[in-house]
């Protein structure tokens, strides 16, 4: 995975987070946790066609 380093003052980061709505904060949380890493890995698997999402019929065909 590519890494990037940038200088951003902590005050700017705090202002950005403070201005986020609930959904944006939840997304940020996911991206910064192990759960987010797993979701990103799943997304990459789908994009690389290693797996596919179930459609509505497949998911609810009981």
Under the banding of pLDDT at 50, 70 and 90, the label for residue 3 is confident
Q: Where are the domains positioned within the chain? A: 23-60
For the chain, the average pLDDT equals 87
19 and 27 Cβ atoms separated by less than 8 Å: no
Is pLDDT above 90 for 17? Answer: yes
Alpha carbon distance 62, 51 (integer Å): 21
Please indicate, yes or no, whether the overall pTM of this predicted structure exceeds 0.75: no
Q: What is the structure's pLDDT at 12?
A: 95
28 and 20 Cβ atoms separated by less than 8 Å: yes
Under the banding of pLDDT at 50, 70 and 90, the label for residue 20 is very high
Helix H or strand E encompassing 36: helix 34-47
Q: What is the structure's pLDDT at 1?
A: 65
């Amino acid at each position: 995975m590519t890494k990037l380093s940038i200088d951003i003052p902590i005050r700017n980061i705090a202002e950005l987070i403070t201005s986020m709505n609930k959904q944006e904060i939840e997304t940020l949380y996911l991206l910064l946790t192990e759960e987010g890493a797993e979701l990103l890995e799943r997304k990459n698997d789908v994009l690389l066609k290693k797996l596919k999402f179930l459609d509505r019929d497949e998911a609810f065909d009981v």
